[in-house]
Amino acid sequence: MSNGVYQRSIGMAVEILGGNDAVAKYLGVSTEDILSWIEGKTEPAMAFFQRIVDLIEESTVKAARTATVVRSRRDEGR
């Protein structure tokens, strides 16, 4: 798998959780590990990458549900 995929995914996790430290805590790794993955120096173990993917999926589904509720409420007000 391309480093770019890891880097983009970890970057998304950083956005979702609010920082490198938060992702490190979520995964139970060091902040240095997160920085190394973001910089493409090393790759996360597949178990960590899967947790990141799960986090992104959960966040995306939650955002989609929220958007649906907002649209529904907006449409009811018309």
More confident residue, 19 or 69: 19
Position 78 scores a pLDDT of 64
Q: How far is CA 46 from CA 40, 53, 61, 71, 78, in A?
A: 15, 10, 22, 37, 48
More confident residue, 68 or 1: 68
CA distance 60 to 15: 12
CA distance 9 to 50: 10
Question: pLDDT digit string (tens) for 19-64?
Answer: 999 999 999 999 999 999 999 999 999 999 999 999 999 998 887 7
Residue 7 pLDDT grade (very low, low, confident, very high; cuts 50, 70, 90): very high
